[in-house]
Structure 1
Amino acid sequence: MMEDGMIDVGDRPNIGVLGKYNIVDGLENKFNVCFVENRTHAATDWQAANPLMRCLPNFMLQLTFIIMFTRVFMIILKPIRQPRFVSEAGVVLGPSLLTREAWIATYVHPFEGALLLETMGSLGVTFYMFLVGLEMDLTPIRKMGKTASRVAIAGIILPGCVGMILYQLVRNERPDAPKEGGFFWAIALTVTSFSDLARILSKLKLMSTDLGKMAMTSAVLTDFVSWILLVATVAIVNGHGNFLRIIPTLIFMVICWFVIRPIIFWMIKRINAGREESSMEVQYNEKHAGFILTGVLLCGLVTELCGVHPMFGAFMFGLMIPSSEVGIKIMDKIEDFVVGILLPPVFLVAGLRTNVAFIAAGFRYSLVATVMVVASLIKILSTLLVCLYSKCSFRDSLALGVLMNTKGVIAIIVLHEGRNVKGFDQQTYTWMVIAMLIMTGLVGPVVSFTHKSARHLKHYHRMNLERSKPDTELRVLACLHSSRNLAGLINLLHLSNATRKSPIVVFAVYLVELTGRASAMLIFHDKSNMNDIAGCGNSSRERLEAEHIVHAFESLQNDNRAIAVYPLTAVSPFSTMHEDVRNFAIDKNVAVILLPYHKKPNGIGGWVDESLEHKKVSQHLLANAPCSIAILVDRGLTRHLPLDFEHDSIREIRVAMLFFEGADDREALAYAWRMAGNPGVALTVVRFVPGKDMLETVVDEAEAEAEAEAEAEAEAEANSNDDPGAFSAMFEKDKKKMLDDDYINEFRFRTMHDQSIAYMEKPVNSGDELVSTIKSAYNDFDLYIVGRGYDTKSPLTSGLCDWNEFPEIGLIGDTLISVDSLTSASVLVMQQSAPKATPRPPLVSKNNISCVSKKTVSMDAPRFSNQPFVNHQITHDYL
């Protein structure tokens, strides 16, 4: 049987016969190809014809190739932060590279397989655009700021005009080029791929930042306007210039928005009401999935009958479905299949239509270079100029311009439509495809350099309480894994002395694990947007938890007007959750991150892990925190606080701050100092100092160390007389001690007349004596505040490492939660941010290496008699 067709196949030799194919025309936009299809059926069990030459087996082979190559390129390009769009292997499998091999052209990409490939690609585009519409939320358009609206408008007008001008340069070289191509070039340069941009921002952990929010808001408006222009252009081109052909499409869009959309809202409301009554979630999912997918196909069919591509109807249908659980459930069910199976044929078709070998055939190389460079940079320049005009920093302006230049799948779809209506030929199509790859490929590396590079975050590493002024705003990021963490954190904030002169701004972040989505999305939303967390695990439970957390923090704000609360929900994988918290803390200039302890009492004096994933999140934050970290071990702090602060009297809360040495202890003292301003808090600061026996040991060790340093100094002086590093180590220890003494002296001087603050110094000679002293003399407090001491090796804690099981809270914190007589006391462990932008050492429990597992403390340590609390006025000359 003879079949012929107009098949877009890229570059083929300009000859009359190629194997079984008869090529009528040469190197033009299209080839008339005639071929014979053998439909003979054999009488045996074996096939008489090659099965790979049939359409369906050939399509499965093509799909296997494109998926396999895409996965390989994703692994290769991951280190340079390239999105999936750049990793799609369509260009590699096309005539630019592999299809130049005869056997691949014959068996993998034969002419007769093009029809099924393009059909499946159209189906994939239809369902993908439904997902884009389902994910897009037009609500931010109503709340756009001036800068975001300017960026969107400039990103539409200037690139659109430049696209028309560039195509006019092509027509000057080739007057017979179709004039319609300029419109598709203009739209392709205008569009910003909303879904691809969201995934890039999520991977770069910038979704919650002001930069990410502005980019997403501008992208929504840009995409919406671009799609309207594309619908109008396709309808007019298909109608051969008749503008009336767009009227049926406009009528359908009006019907969708004002008739079908209210019906969908009503149906979803009824579904949710029925689910609340029957609690039949599984039946609800299976029952309505088919209805939604059928609606996608019907809307696509209607827009096809109106003269435009079915993807426009699918996009409108997805846009009409509200941001609710039903939409996210449908996305979870079909996203993997659409993106992983139906969409790769689109990139394969793009690759077959792209031929880099003949990119400049018939054109000047200077014109090709000009078109590709200008097309790649015009949107960056337009956004950069608008942002600089709006007084934005150059770094943010450049990053936003690069983000708005994210093209992705939607730009390829625009070029497909232009090629399908013969708006431009293979060469100009190739120019734009290569330009799109360049544009999107620049996004990850450039934005990572401008906003993820450590050299731009140095000033954030000094965010802590010790260096903060007393009468300034305190910004706190309180992290919660569940409502069980609420009581302790909220009551700690109650005690933190928020006043008009020194208010507290609390960003309460409910951390939720992201599950069920093919591509991770980070969502930060306010208290009016509870439906956003649907679909992340057990959605009903997560929503109830979020509502409980929001109401609790609203009560905190109502109790004290000096506390401003912003409840948020962070939905992210556990593996990258710490990066979301870290970046949000940087973006909001947070001074302290409050974390709940990941363990809970087991009722018999021990501790059990609530979640190992929560433990890992805390460990990563401790290792890479841009500010101070406070871990609260809550063991009944709630009991000491009334529920109604306005009408109930508050019992005085006894707080003890145990000071040893180091930056973490100074940070703990700074937080305790702040809490001491609360009239309901009585603070006792105990500084442990070396006893007589330990001083003698320390002196002997110091003399030995001085001799070793003198020898090292002499050797260093002999090797290099100009090396300043040879003399710096000997002063490091004294420098730390001077800092501790200065801060303690300042604290004592400023609080000498405050009767609610007591200060004392307690000499100890060993770790065992330290434990015994705490048990006997300092065992009657409601809250202990200590430093984690990650970077200190104090002789006061010698021997404690032998039974340290919980390195997240340090030696002293571990000791306090293990002492039997302190079972009702809560512990707050502080860690100060590192002064340098260097990662902290990994958290490794010493009992896993060389120390013996911890036993019961009360049976081993000797007891000392109780000592009264006295505000001793002691002056020591430590220098």
Structure 2
Amino acid sequence: MVFSSRLVYYLLRPLSQPHLVSDLLAGIVLSSLLQLGGDGILRDIFPIKIILAIATIAQVGLIFYVFLTGLEMNLDFVLRAPKKPTIIAICSTLVPMMLGTFSYSLVTIVDKKLLKKSGETYQYNRPQCYFMWSMVLSITGFPVLANILVDLKLLYTRLGKLALTVATHNDFYNWLMFAMVVPFFVNGYRAVYSMLCVIAFILLSHFVLRPLLEKIVAKKPNKHEWTNYQLSFVIMGLFACTGLTDILGANPLVGALIYGLAIPRGSFAELLIERSDDFGSRYLAPLFFVSCGLRTNLVKVLQHAEGCLVVIAVILSICTKIVTTFAVTRYYGMPFRESLAFGLLMNTKGILSLIVLNIAWDKQLMSGYAFSIMTLTILIMTFMVSPIINVIYRPKRAYRMNMLRTIQNLGFQTEVRIMVCVHNPRHATGMVNILEALSGVCVSSLRVTAAQLIELKGRVTGLVSAQLEHQSSIQHFSHSQSQSLEDMETIANHFQFFTQVHSGNHADTCMIMSPFNTINRDIYNLAMEKQASLVLLPFHKHWSSEGNLEVTNEVFSEINQNVMKDAPCSVGLFVDRSLNSLLKANLHIVMLFIGGPDDREALAIAWRMTGHQRIRLTMVRIILCGEAALEGHKKESSHGELLSAVLDKNKERELDDSCVSNFRIMGVNNKDTMKYEERQVESGYGIPRVLNEIDQKGYDLYVLGQGKGRHSSVLSEMLNWSDFPELGVIGDLVASNSFGSSSSVLVVQQYGYGGMEFGRNHDNNSSCHPSIHKLPSMARSLSRMF
């Protein structure tokens, strides 16, 4: 059963399907194959003893799964929710329950006919049956929804944040209904006494058990101090709580949920999730999902004569929640496509839907035929979310008309929107110093979005993302909070201090938790959401006390390269060598200009920095001549392509000359803050020599372009042999430890000319100048000599 569910999961990964779909589908396929083989084969493969063993193991997995759900649920976040998501959550919970009675009425019509043929009396027309059916339709599976948003890279868009916020409330309301209302429909008025006992247990857990656990956890704030033997007592407490609620007459899963809510939040809760997730959610819980699929009689549903009524009932069941949430969000002014996508997301089902469905089966509140129809409906509801949203909702469409995502095309009085990506507080300090340089007194204000990049681990992503919908929620974590949340608070303080000192600017902080190999897509979506003109990234090396750049994390380099390949705006890569704050010292900046769109964008950024009264800017234009000006041979054979290439080069030269001329004219009127110089380079050997001469003047910051649009074969070959191609040729030389500079470096890539293609193309070496092959090593030797 586990193997089949994993196999189906990997087959459905191109469609971004969650584990719930693969587990249910695996169970339905197994059930259908066994039923087609006859009752004899079914009894041989699944005898009574095997079924009882599977049910027992599945129940253990279910307890773990619900316990982890309680660990992820944050009641403070629900209680502090704003009005809009609360109203949407309430409407998307209650209205589908009322509309769900119509679809169940159609099912009862078909169900009655089927039972009459077999000579049985129909007993599934009671209010309890309608309630259980309707409750399944009102549920939104928050963990499943979070995983879908992560796969679709919508977690940090406006749609994703609102969906997570509403799903959190919806999930809480449904679990509350499951604990307090479902027992009355299942057990009648006898449930009053058990509910009173459960309420007493909840109060005991909150006011007695939780403070006791907080004291125990506070003694070991580091999660690595906990041994497996000590954690085994936590598991014993879990089964004790489930057994106690079972004795009190409530569902045992209520005890697992209450116990999960009682565990203190922070690093200890993360440790429990890390240790329990694979065991409970990946191996034991799938048995429950597959068992639900095995209970589904697909053959019987397909063979029934009343197929039209079944189809109508399924369609009505699917549309109830979609139509409700669509209408409410349209009332609040959400666009049509976004409202439709939101309705699909809120229609995602989770484990609670199947729990309620199985209780209705076990208590004979739902027939086997109705159970099969609802299971198929849940499968279709969840399966359809990802493919349809991929078609109808793509965030890039909303921003396709806004193509001017560059600093160069912004007016000096236009608000500059910048997205800053950091991994730790050290990066935040350097980025704030860059933002100070950009927030000159004579230029427009900055609107900054600071995002801490965190690698996705387990099931924590959805919870943290939903909690960080409110920036104030960071202040409500306990003292045992994890390192990432502590770093987030420090980072938020850095940018808050920036806005306080430099009034008129605005800064927001958030987290991006995603797998590092695809986190660039989350950065894209957030940058488009914020309509940023510049994304600032930290270099993967940091400045050490010995005066060298040391590797922080090699993965950060891959992230930077992935972002630069297809960024939706200009990108700045910052190499921080302890750049001083403008509050402490003046800054002398040098802008190196060779030519091309990247250099023009870098000039625009450096030009803005001159608006600050404590900044002096020197622009050095490096003119390539002689051997250095040779262009690589083109492979195009078409005369049209050759003519286009020549025209492009001439246009680039005109744009470069225009930018330089404008700067020189402005520099004449601002001699105290702006200066212009020219340096000629006749060969590749002259590049490090000129850079060393420039570096002798002791600049604080280099601003330069990454290098697109340059046609020099010398620079192209040097880029093929660069250690860090994301920095470009000049940036790679200046940032290398062998160069010996103590200046920080800001490398800029302009949006609109295609992203960088990283990789070394050794096949084209033969087309370059013969002496080029020896240039990289000789250039580095010259840099050491100077």
Q: Please state which band the TM-score falls in when normalised by the shorter chain.
A: 0.7 to 0.9
Distance 1:528 1:513 in 2: 21
Distance 2:455 2:271 in 1: 16
Tell me: CA distance 1:298–1:268, structure 2 relative to 1, closer, same or farther (3 Å).
closer
Residue in 1 that maps onto 2:329: 387
Partner AA of 2:68 in structure 1: L
Query: Is residue 91 of structure 1 aligned with residue 91 of structure 2?
Result: no
Distance 2:33 2:396 in 1: 39
CA RMSD in angstroms, aligned pairs only: 3.4
Residue in 1 that maps onto 2:37: 101
Gaps of 5+ in 1: 1-65, 717-724, 865-879
750-759 or 326-335, which deviates more: 750-759
SS in 2 for 1:618: helix
Structure 1 residue 293, shift from structure 2 partner = 2.6
Distance 2:763 2:210 in 1: 57
Residue in 2 that maps onto 1:18: none
Query: Is residue 170 of structure 1 aligned with residue 107 of structure 2?
Result: yes
Residue in 2 that maps onto 1:181: 129
Query: Is residue 211 of structure 1 aligned with residue 147 of structure 2?
Result: no
Distance 2:341 2:716 in 1: 50
Distance 1:730 1:397 in 2: 49
Distance 1:345 1:403 in 2: 25
Q: How many residues align?
A: 760
Distance 2:290 2:33 in 1: 13
183-192 or 119-128, which deviates more: 119-128
Residue in 1 that maps onto 2:195: 250
For the 8 Å contact 2:147–2:462, the answer to whether it is kept is yes
Tell me: CA distance 1:261–1:848, structure 2 relative to 1, closer, same or farther (3 Å).
farther
Residue in 2 that maps onto 1:398: 340
Distance 1:153 1:518 in 2: 25
Structure 1 residue 108, shift from structure 2 partner = 1.9
Structure 1 residue 667, shift from structure 2 partner = 1.0
Partner AA of 1:662 in structure 2: G
Structure 1 residue 777, shift from structure 2 partner = 5.0
Residue in 1 that maps onto 2:69: 132
- 1:738 aligned to 650, 654, 663, which one? 654
Residue in 1 that maps onto 2:117: none
398-407 or 737-746, which deviates more: 737-746
Query: Is residue 757 of structure 1 aligned with residue 671 of structure 2?
Result: no
Tell me: CA distance 1:741–1:117, structure 2 relative to 1, closer, same or farther (3 Å).
same
For the 8 Å contact 1:199–1:519, the answer to whether it is kept is no
Partner AA of 1:122 in structure 2: Q
Structure 1 residue 367, shift from structure 2 partner = 0.7
- 2:759 aligned to 829, 833, 844, which one? 844
Write the mapping of 1:174-323 to structure 2, written as runs, cut at 5 A: 174=111, 176-178=122-124, 179=126, 180-232=128-180, 234-239=182-187, 242=188, 244-275=189-220, 281-282=223-224, 284=226, 286=228, 289-323=231-265
Distance 2:258 2:576 in 1: 51
Distance 2:60 2:784 in 1: 78
Query: Is residue 766 of structure 1 aligned with residue 683 of structure 2?
Result: yes
Tell me: CA distance 1:533–1:686, structure 2 relative to 1, closer, same or farther (3 Å).
farther
Residue in 1 that maps onto 2:729: 811
Which structure has the larger Rg over C-alpha atoms?
A: 1
Gaps of 5+ in 2: 113-121, 766-772
Partner AA of 1:70 in structure 2: S
Partner AA of 1:162 in structure 2: L
Structure 1 residue 105, shift from structure 2 partner = 1.3
- 1:351 aligned to 293, 308, 311, which one? 293
After superposition, the C-alpha distances for 1:175-205 in whole angstroms (9 at most, x for unaligned) are 5241232111100100001111122122222
Tell me: CA distance 1:143–1:542, structure 2 relative to 1, closer, same or farther (3 Å).
closer
After superposition, the C-alpha distances for 1:565-620 in whole angstroms (9 at most, x for unaligned) are 33334343322332333322222222222222213568999755332111111111
Residue in 2 that maps onto 1:787: 705
Write the mapping of 1:142-181 to structure 2, written as runs, cut at 5 A: 142-174=79-111, 176-178=122-124, 179=126, 180-181=128-129
Write the mapping of 1:537-556 to structure 2, written as runs, cut at 5 A: 541-542=483-484, 544-556=486-498
Partner AA of 1:759 in structure 2: Y
SS in 2 for 1:637: coil
Distance 2:572 2:61 in 1: 49
Distance 1:753 1:670 in 2: 17
Residue in 1 that maps onto 2:565: 623
After superposition, the C-alpha distances for 1:480-521 in whole angstroms (9 at most, x for unaligned) are 233433443222222222449622233333333344x26865
Distance 2:279 2:230 in 1: 18
Structure 1 residue 285, shift from structure 2 partner = 5.2
After superposition, the C-alpha distances for 1:633-678 in whole angstroms (9 at most, x for unaligned) are 223423xx47xx3xx6x33x21111112211111101110110111
Residue in 2 that maps onto 1:441: 383
Residue in 2 that maps onto 1:74: 9
Residue in 2 that maps onto 1:60: none
Structure 1 residue 391, shift from structure 2 partner = 0.9
Structure 1 residue 454, shift from structure 2 partner = 5.1
For the 8 Å contact 2:195–2:250, the answer to whether it is kept is no
**TM-score of the superposition, structure 2-length normalised?**
0.88
Residue in 2 that maps onto 1:110: 47
Query: Is residue 681 of structure 1 aligned with residue 615 of structure 2?
Result: yes
Structure 1 residue 419, shift from structure 2 partner = 0.9
Distance 2:563 2:306 in 1: 55
Distance 1:91 1:300 in 2: 27
Structure 1 residue 861, shift from structure 2 partner = 7.5
Distance 1:791 1:532 in 2: 49
Residue in 1 that maps onto 2:432: 490
Distance 1:499 1:272 in 2: 49
For the 8 Å contact 2:738–2:783, the answer to whether it is kept is no
Structure 1 residue 436, shift from structure 2 partner = 0.7
For the 8 Å contact 2:543–2:576, the answer to whether it is kept is no
For the 8 Å contact 1:527–1:568, the answer to whether it is kept is no
Residue in 1 that maps onto 2:588: 654
Tell me: CA distance 1:104–1:742, structure 2 relative to 1, closer, same or farther (3 Å).
farther
- 2:284 aligned to 325, 338, 342, which one? 342
SS in 2 for 1:593: strand
Residue in 1 that maps onto 2:600: 666
318-327 or 622-631, which deviates more: 318-327
After superposition, the C-alpha distances for 1:674-731 in whole angstroms (9 at most, x for unaligned) are 101111111112223344x469x77xx89x99xx99x944xx7xxxxxxxx8964442
479-488 or 655-664, which deviates more: 479-488
Distance 1:407 1:79 in 2: 20
For the 8 Å contact 1:94–1:355, the answer to whether it is kept is no
Tell me: CA distance 1:396–1:249, structure 2 relative to 1, closer, same or farther (3 Å).
farther
Distance 1:554 1:147 in 2: 27
Partner AA of 2:520 in structure 1: H
Structure 1 residue 161, shift from structure 2 partner = 1.4
Residue in 1 that maps onto 2:782: 860
Tell me: CA distance 1:252–1:734, structure 2 relative to 1, closer, same or farther (3 Å).
farther
Distance 2:413 2:762 in 1: 43
Tell me: CA distance 1:461–1:438, structure 2 relative to 1, closer, same or farther (3 Å).
farther
Structure 1 residue 811, shift from structure 2 partner = 0.7
Partner AA of 1:270 in structure 2: K
Partner AA of 1:208 in structure 2: Y
Distance 1:802 1:321 in 2: 54
Distance 2:77 2:694 in 1: 59
For the 8 Å contact 2:685–2:775, the answer to whether it is kept is no
Distance 1:804 1:376 in 2: 56
158-167 or 230-239, which deviates more: 230-239
> Identity across aligned pairs (percent)?
28
Residue in 1 that maps onto 2:119: none
Write the mapping of 1:494-505 to structure 2, written as runs, cut at 5 A: 494-499=436-441, 502-505=444-447
Structure 1 residue 798, shift from structure 2 partner = 6.6
Distance 1:499 1:264 in 2: 56
